[in-house]
Chain A
Amino acid sequence: MQPFAKRISAMSKVIKIKKGKDINLAGVAEKNVAPRTVSSTIAIKPTDFRNLVPKLVVKAGDEVKAGDALFYDKNNPEVMFTSPVSGEVAEVVRGDRRAVLEVRVLADSETSYKKFDVSNASNTKEVLLESGLWPCIVERPFGVVANPSATPKAIHVSCFDTSPLAADISFTLSKEGDAFRKGVEVLKSLTSGKVHLNVDANGQNQDVFTQTPGAVVTQFAGPHPAGLAGVQIHHIDPINKGDVVWTISPQHVVFIGRLFTNGQLDLTETIAVAGSDIKKPQYVETMVGTNVEVLLKDNVSGDNSRIISGNVLTGTSIGANGYLGFFDNVVSAIPEGDEYEFMGWLFPSYARPTISNSMPISKYLKKNFVVNTNFHGEERAFVVSGEYEKVLPMDIYPVHLLKSILAQDLETMENLGIYEVIPEDMALCEFVCTSKIEVQKILGDGLTLMAEEG
């Protein structure tokens, strides 16, 4: 057999991403998998899905099987969101204006599964919708749950993650090759175009992805955000006005593969528990929607940590007993930064990640940073120019796009490429911003406005 690099270069091209920044943080998960740990209650959170308006179909006290619907999408009633476990609906948690935040299910000790008929190839879409795996598919533009009546021009699967403390997907899915291939086969039936597998050019053990028949494999090299589907799509086949492109994570492809192999919903996944406040950062087998308390038990150092479902750039702060998000495969724990720093803007008292040459020690230090949540400054108007461009490897003028959003100028937003980005694509812009502008919030608002009126 030829060496890996040689084999792959024969079958796909390498796209080199030059702009961006890898943020190396302390507490990277070690590559061993702790035994299966799942909490007794599981929660599915409508807030994990952009702009979703949920309609409940259960109330507290109802019994559900794994695969039974908990709620559906008001705007696309056939899109179901289902329970990953069997048991009793314990609680519906509501927030402002009675918006549903979480549906919690108390799991049975023995899971009973709803059976899905997967023998018939013609009803693939219906099975996906009914099983609750349809929401795994994210639609661009706007980054919302895919519209079942749309036909995408392509489906992209980013098979690696470059974000800080990211889980190594080729490691977590190393034994899931069959399910992955099955899942890709299902996805192929949903598009008239191609299914793209975008893999890490420098990654080890990519065979689980590259050995997939019928998919287009493209290699990417470079710093974060090279691993984001948005960046990859931009370099392979950018989204134009009127285009619909779907993205899905490799883990979710595996879920689909499992469903179409044995007819039942199995949302078991291996995730990373990482960060400088984790005593023993490693991988653990668990389930979508688990309470992270069981994962963090006796494993968090310090008493002032921020627990994030997802990575530190795009994740959600959930607290020490919150629930793992639907799309997240990492739980990050970093110290809070609610402390004053004497003259910190001039003499930083500890090294911190930066792209600024004005902090040469921090910038060129080769180490994994212990990073906290301090703002390191105050919000200001846009002053410094050319900064976002250094970390956004797209042919887009980010500041002008954001200004057009602030001005609610729909036509300019469209012209400047709002269809090509979702908030995660510009999370690094937010990180590097000298003026501490809330980039992801502004972009999210712009996308919502565009989706409503555009």
Chain B
Amino acid sequence: MKFLRNTIDKLKPNFEKGGKLHFLHSTFDGFETFLFVPNHTTKQGAHIRDGIDLKRTMFFVVLALIPCTLFGMWNVGYQHYLALGQEASLMDNLLFGLMKTLPIIIVSYTVGLGIEFAFCQVKGHPINEGFLVSGMLIPLVLPPDISLWMVAIATAFAVVIGKEVFGGTGMNILNPALTARVFLYIAYPVEMAGEIWVSGIKGGAVDAASGATTLGILGAGKEATVDTYNAFMGLIPGSIGETSALMCLLGGVFLIATGIGSWRIMLSTVLGALGMGLILNMVGGNPYYDLPAYQHLIIGGFAFGAVFMATDPVSAAQTNRGKWIYGALIGVLTVLIRVFNPAYPEGIMFAILFMNVMAPLVDNYVIKSNIKRRLSRVKA
């Protein structure tokens, strides 16, 4: 540790004002503070500070994503060999998935961090930790056979338009990872609707139907039998990291236990979806109406969205009461979009983005009621 510290101290003057590499000072700072918590002490206000910081907070979200990531890699391989009708071992599946997934992750982080570093450099800001999470979320919501150039464009769009134009981490209105996803969905509808949901079946090697997702089939107006076990475990085609409700549940439990993710949002999103699903079940009529309410929770990206996307503290509602409303409406809207607008099967994505935009309004009303309470005291 001492050697590392000494090396950094030796290099540091180059990056300080007047040094040759001053233009890279934000980048240097970023790496230095990653390795060492700075020796900054309190100057004014409270003399002592909590041990938590944003690095830890963000890193814990990445930790929570590990089950989804590992399972997702394996499932990419599993779906591939399943579609080809070949036997494959756990290692085969994992290896195939790794080969498919790793390039996407690398592209996402390289492009995203590159832009982030450049922005911080120009603005003279310290490097923010936000993209640690976004960079992992983006690959997990993409199909396994997506072209890497699309990953790059989507990531760039998400970081620049989704975040940096608003002022960087903490200032954005939309969830950056979802911004990337919806950008691809809208800008490249043909590519995204193709046979990229199961890896390695392009070119008609296999019957196209086997590459379709549950939501895709339902959207086409056909009856889909959801195998509850497979959907819950995640043994179905879909985006890399979001097929397994079980893995999302693990991540969610971890986030709630560590206090990093909002249990209010997760719970209210689930309750909202269940409630709306039950109402539609009572109405009944077509296959989509009749889909049992609980199955809404395990198909598509619902679980992943509820746990990892809706809970992004920056784009979500920020008041505790607002979080309940925000989450519940995401749940309700997800089911509504899925059922009433089958052209957009990914209801959760649009529901969250829509509620991201509405979150400040929700908070505004919550706060207005607080103001009203305060004013009514004067009259009383």
Contacts and interface: CB of A to CB of B under 8 A. Distances in A.
Contacts of A357: 257-259
Contacts of A338: 39-41
A359 B51 contact: yes
B295 interface: no
A377 B53 contact: yes
A358 B126 CA distance: 24
Contact of B170 (A332, A340, A383, A427): A383
B367 A440 contact: no
A238 interface: yes
B314 A378 contact: no
Contact of A380 (B40, B167, B169, B318): B169
B50 A358 contact: no
Interface stretch (B86-94, B227-235, B370-378): B370-378
B56 A346 contact: yes
B69 interface: no
Contact of A427 (B46, B60, B377): B46
Contact of A377 (B49, B169, B371, B377): B49
B124 to A, nearest CB: 14
A1 interface: no
Contacts of B128: 380-381
B45 interface: yes
A313 B46 contact: yes
B49 A374 contact: yes
A435 B170 contact: yes
Interface string A365-386: 0000001111111101111111
Interface residues of A, number: 73
A376 B35 contact: no
Contacts of B169: 380-381, 383
A348 interface: yes
Interface stretch (A130-138, A143-151, A393-401): A393-401
Interface in A51-98: none
Contact of A348 (B1, B51, B126): B51
Contact of A354 (B33, B52, B375): B52
A1 B319 CA distance: 49
Contacts of B367: 397, 400, 416
A334 interface: yes
B49 A376 contact: yes
A352 B40 CA distance: 16
A367 to B, nearest CB: 14
Contacts of B44: 438, 440-441
B57 A358 contact: yes
A353 B39 CA distance: 18
B156 to A, nearest CB: 22
Interface string B255-277: 00111101000000000000000
Contacts of B41: 306, 336-338, 372-375
B45 A355 contact: no
B53 A378 contact: yes
Contact of B36 (A317, A341, A395): A341
B48 A373 contact: yes
Contacts of B39: 337-340, 374
Interface in A315-354: 315, 317, 332, 334, 336-346, 348, 352-354
A385 B318 contact: yes
A382 B170 contact: yes
10 contacts: A23-B48, A332-B47, A338-B39, A340-B39, A342-B35, A345-B55, A356-B50, A373-B41, A377-B56, A381-B169
List the 7 closest pairs (A to B, CB-CB), nearest first.
Answer: A377-B53, A381-B170, A344-B37, A357-B259, A385-B318, A440-B45, A356-B52
Interface of A: 23, 164, 238, 240-242, 306, 308, 312-315, 317, 332, 334, 336-346, 348, 352-359, 362, 371-378, 380-386, 389, 395-397, 399-400, 415-417, 423, 427, 430-436, 438-441
